[in-house]
Amino acid sequence: MQRFDLDQDRLPPGAEILFYDPGVWEEYWAAILLAFPIILLQSSTIIGLGVLEKRRRRAAAELAQQRAEVARLSRVSQLGELSGAIAHELKQPLTSILMNAESGRALLRQSPPDLREIAEILEDIANDDRRAAGVIDNLRKLLGEGAPDFQPVELNDVVRATLRLIRSELIARSVRTDLKLCEAALIATGNAEQLQQVLLNLIFNATDGMADQPRKTRRISIETTLRTDGMREVSVTDTGPGLPEAVRDAAFQPFVTTKAHGMGLGLSISRTIAEAHGGQLHVDGAASKTRAILALPAP
Give residues in contact with ligand ATP (CB under 6 A): 88, 201, 205-206, 209, 238, 240, 243-244, 247, 251, 256-259, 262-268, 285, 290
Between 28 and 255, CB nearer to Mg ion? 255
Task: Output the smallest distance, CB 270 to Mg ion, in A.
Answer: 8
At position 34, the amino acid (one-letter code) is L
Between 104 and 285, CB nearer to ligand ATP? 285
Beta bridge partners of 284: 291
Position among 240, 266, 279, 285 found at the interface with Mg ion (CB under 5 A): 266
CA 67-254-140 angle, to 5 degrees, is 50
Interaction partner, residue 259 (ligand ATP, Mg ion, none; CB < 5-8 Å by kind): ligand ATP
Interaction partner, residue 206 (Mg ion, ligand ATP, none; CB < 5-8 Å by kind): ligand ATP
Task: Kindly give the pairing relationship between strand 291-296 and strand 280-284.
Answer: antiparallel
Between 215 and 259, CB nearer to Mg ion? 259
Q: Is the sign of the CA dihedral 259, 197, 78, 284 positive or negative?
A: negative
Query: What single DSSP character describes residue 110?
Result: S
Among candidate residues 215, 218, 211, the one with its CA nearest the CA of residue 237: 218
Task: Output the smallest distance, CB 204 to Mg ion, in A.
Answer: 6
Between 69 and 249, CB nearer to ligand ATP? 249
> On the CB side of 286, how many CA atoms lie within 13 Å of its CA?
3
Between 121 and 218, CB nearer to ligand ATP? 218
Between 156 and 237, CB nearer to ligand ATP? 237
Interaction partner, residue 256 (Mg ion, ligand ATP, none; CB < 5-8 Å by kind): ligand ATP
Task: Output the smallest distance, CB 239 to Mg ion, in A.
Answer: 17
Task: Output the smallest distance, CB 263 to ligand ATP, in A.
Answer: 3
3-state secondary structure of 259: coil
3-state secondary structure of 75: helix
Task: Output the smallest distance, CB 292 to ligand ATP, in A.
Answer: 6
Between 242 and 297, CB nearer to ligand ATP? 242
Task: Kindly give the pairing relationship between strand 232-238 and strand 219-226.
Answer: antiparallel
Q: Which of residues 67-96 bind Mg ion (CB under 5 A)?
A: none
- The CB-nearest residue to ligand ATP is 266
Distance of alpha carbon 148 from alpha carbon 193, whole angstroms: 10
Distance of alpha carbon 163 from alpha carbon 70, whole angstroms: 37
Task: Kindly give the pairing relationship between strand 151-154 and strand 232-238.
Answer: unpaired
Q: Within a 10 A sphere around the Cβ of 191, how many other Cβ atoms?
A: 21
Q: Is 279 in the site for Mg ion (CB under 5 A)?
A: no
Interaction partner, residue 257 (ligand ATP, Mg ion, none; CB < 5-8 Å by kind): ligand ATP
Asked whether the beta carbons of 232 and 189 are under 8 A apart, the reply is no
- Binding track over 203-222 against Mg ion, x by CB under 5 A: --x-----------------
Q: Within a 10 A sphere around the Cβ of 262, how many other Cβ atoms?
A: 15
Q: Which of residues 171-190 bind Mg ion (CB under 5 A)?
A: none
Q: Within a 10 A sphere around the Cβ of 237, how many other Cβ atoms?
A: 20
Contact footprint for Mg ion (CB under 5 A): 205, 266
